[in-house]
Every structure is written in C-alpha cells, then in structure tokens.
Structure 1
Amino acid sequence: MTTALVFGATGFIGAQLLRGLLDRPDTTRVIAVVRRPLTLSDPKLTVLIGDRETLPALAAQLVADEVFVALGTTRKQTPDEAAYYRIDHDYPVEAARIARHNGAQAVFLVSAVGADAASRSFYLRTKGETERDVIALGFPRTAIFRPSMLVGQRAEHRPLERLFIGLSHLLNPVLLGPADRFRGIDGGDVARAMIAAARSDAPGVQILHWREMTALLGR
C-alpha cells in the first residue's frame, strides 16, 4: 500500500495523474501540493496549499513513498527567465529533495524530449539541469518522462499549439526508429505511463521517450 505525493496536480498531465493515482487500488493516500484549493475531493486525497516559496514550511507533511513531479510553465505565462527557472528547475528539485529527505523511495519526473544540461536552448538546458539535479538526489528509483508534443484537450486556448497537434497526427506515422521519440503523445498517456512505471519497480534511473511510454501502456 502506497502514499503518493504529487506536484503540479492542476496541470495538463498532473490533473490526469492525480485522478489515476486516486483510482489506483494500492494507493492509500495521495498528497497534492497546489497553489489554490481543488474542486476534486476524495477520501484518499490530502490537499496542501503551497508553492516554491512556502515549500519549506510544508516539509514535515511531505512524507510519501513515491513523488510525482509534473510542474512547469510556459514562456507566455512566465516571460522572465529567472522566474521561469525557479518554476521549472528550482521548484521540482526542491520538492524532490524534501521528499527524498523524508524517505521517499521513487521519483517520477515530467521533462521534455531533447533535455540536455549542455544545450544552447534555455528551455532544453533548464529541463536537462532539472533532470541532472533530481538524479543527483539518489532515489533508489528515478523515472524521467520526456514527451515531445503533448496532444489532448486542454482547458486553455492555445491556437498555435492546436496547429502543431494537427501536424503531429500527420507526422507520427513517418517518425520511425530513433526519430519516434519526437512523436506527439496524449497527456493522459504520459500520466498513465507514470503510474505504470511506479508499478514496475524498475530500479535505478530510467529515461522514457514515446516508445518506452507507449510500451508501458501495452501498445
């Protein structure tokens, strides 16, 4: 029986991840750290209101077996690079650090295809540094999920992203071999792959792209 800790539970992947964890039979408790109260209620669910700045004050309550991190922002929402870095790097790393200190044995992190701490791209470098620093925390199990274009129904209107999603349906069949990591994937499938990876008990560090995530879903 498992206690799961979730960061980013109001996001595109995180909201679906939260529901999946609550539905998982072997989950006894899910702790969700969010900036505002959730409309979702469940006997298994504990909601903590907090963010990067208030996280240390919540540390004693962040006790779980597994920690799922689906935090992130966009350049449109957060144009300032320093603020963006705090959300996409500092917050995930600090959340994982506290959970590890409190005894968590596994971490499941949403990153991005092409993440590389040495990249010239600010976005990919930030993702790569986040991966590097979470791995350095030494969890017995670390799974990093690197989706490319996320498809599926979002609450917010993103016209340009809708165009790319349409293109992904055309491009996916021709992205073969090593290029299949760039295939679009449904946000719900990423969430389900994270839960499936938690069940697999694979030790060490795993890096999962489209192929590995869909394999976890039996496809």
Structure 2
Amino acid sequence: MVNKAVIVGASGLVGGELLNILLQENYYTEVLALVRKELPVRHKKLVQLVVNFDSLPEHANAINGKALFCCLGSTRSKTPDLSVYRKIDHDYPVQLAEIAKENKVASFHLISAVGANADSSNFYTRLKGETERDIKKVGLHVLHIYQPSLLTGNRMEYRFAERIATVLMKALDPLLLGGLKKYKSIPAAVVARAMYKQSLNSEEGVFVHPSHHIKQLA
C-alpha cells in the first residue's frame, strides 16, 4: 500500500524538520517535495518536483495522497514586495488547498502563526488570518491549522532580528503564564512532530492548534 505525503516549503525551518520526519518514519512510503530548486537531500522515498509556483495547476496531477503539508512562508526582509509576499503566504497555500480537495487528499496541514486574524491592522497577522479564512472556505474534509509563536531552531540562513528575538524569548518564556502561554517560543522540530502525528489522525473537521497546544500534540 502506498501512503504518499506531499510537502511544500521543505527548505524552511519547520519544513526541513518535517521532511526529515517523513523520511525517517515508516508510515509514509512516498514523499513528494514541491520545490523551487532541488534540495541537497537524497532518500529512496523522496521525489523532488521542481515547480514554478505561479503555475501550480500544471502540476495538479502529482498532488495527491494521504496528506499535504503546507509550510510556505516568507519574511518582509526576504520579500519586500508585498504583492509577492502575499502570493507566497496566501495565494499559493489556497491554490494548494483547492488542488488537494479536487484530488481527494485525505488531510491538509497549514503552518500559520500566533495571532492570525483577518481583521488585524498588522499586515503579517492579517495576511495569516486571511489565508486561514480562505482555506477554510475550500471545504476540505480534514484541515489542521498550526499557529506557532516564535520558532526556534537552526536556520540555513542567518536572520539577525530573529536571533535577537530568540535570545530575548529564552528570558521571557518562563514569565508567560495563563493566557500568555501561546506566545512562548517553540522549537520548529516540535511543530513538525505535531504535524506528522496529526496526519495519522483521520478524524474529520477543522482543527486549529495554538502554539501551547502544539507542544502537547508533539
């Protein structure tokens, strides 16, 4: 029996951790990574498909299987053009959800962010909220949305602001109690493990996992 997983955004912090899990664990027998350029990863289960994300429908036939993990995301420093930023964080994930529904992919898993709110005055949290809202409208049978706080881990690229934030959060995390728990920093590896485990759960519905709950799922 072929259990196929599709992962998008495998070059990122969470995506990289998740790709390792998918390749190491036995449940998924095939892993398809949609990439802009090939990753320096080789494994008998891994198939890399280099795609132009502006032409996702052209690759729809390959996007099928048990689970689709959408780990796409960018930053303002990396993508200063807000129209391009929106395509990466909103348009591509919504298109992937539509293709997943059409191809009867069993479950869809989206990385969002703490504070996501379509009505927010902040560009980042508003965009994440709009993405969540529009993917919910697609009508997937199984949708998991993960809202991590500041992600920690070893990035391939150096981000000065995030490095400073990580140091600060180490001091602040113990002080974030009660309703503030969701703002505690969280290791990318923990988010990835939670995503993998939830993909083994076939319960139908829309599930939104705030950061402090993600830790319990991992």
Is TM-score (shorter-chain normalized) higher than 0.5?
A: yes
Moved over 3 A (4+): none
CA deviation digits over 1:73-95, x for unaligned, max 9?
Answer: 11011111111101110011111
Aligned twin of 2:98? 97
Say which is worse superposed, 108-117 or 45-54, in terms of deviation: 45-54
Deviation at 1:201, TM superposition (A): 3.0
Alignment of 1:23 with 2:24, yes or no, is yes
2:184, 2:212 within 8 Å by CA — same for their partners in 1?
no
Deviation at 1:22, TM superposition (A): 1.4
Alignment of 1:71 with 2:79, yes or no, is no
Aligned twin of 1:159? 160
CA deviation digits over 1:160-207, x for unaligned, max 9?
Answer: 211110111111111111210000001111111111111233431111
Q: Identity, % of aligned pairs?
A: 39
Query: What is the distance in 1 between the residues matched to 2:68 and 2:154?
Result: 25
Aligned twin of 1:117? 118
- One-letter amino acid of the structure 2 residue matched with residue 117 of structure 1: A
Aligned twin of 1:197? 198
SS of the residue corresponding to residue 85 of structure 2 reads helix
Point out where structure 2 has 5 or more consecutive residues left out of the alignment: none
Deviation at 1:99, TM superposition (A): 1.7
Aligned twin of 1:51? 52
Deviation at 1:216, TM superposition (A): 1.0
SS of the residue corresponding to residue 136 of structure 1 reads helix
Tell me the C-alpha RMSD between the 2 structures.
1.2
Aligned twin of 2:189? 188
Query: What is the distance in 2 between the residues matched to 1:136 and 1:21?
Result: 28
Aligned twin of 1:131? 132
1:66, 1:107 within 8 Å by CA — same for their partners in 2?
yes
Point out where structure 1 has 5 or more consecutive residues left out of the alignment: none
Aligned twin of 1:146? 147
Query: What is the distance in 2 between the residues matched to 1:104 and 1:125?
Result: 27
Query: What is the distance in 2 between the residues matched to 1:51 and 1:176?
Result: 44
Query: What is the distance in 2 between the residues matched to 1:84 and 1:34?
Result: 17
Deviation at 1:60, TM superposition (A): 1.1
Deviation at 1:54, TM superposition (A): 2.3
Aligned twin of 1:209? 210
Deviation at 1:103, TM superposition (A): 1.0
Structure 2 length as normaliser, TM-score?
0.96
Query: What is the distance in 2 between the residues matched to 1:29 and 1:13?
Result: 19
Structure 1 length as normaliser, TM-score?
0.95
Query: What is the distance in 1 between the residues matched to 2:112 and 2:58?
Result: 26
Say which is worse superposed, 203-212 or 72-81, in terms of deviation: 203-212
SS of the residue corresponding to residue 178 of structure 1 reads helix
1:143, 1:207 within 8 Å by CA — same for their partners in 2?
yes
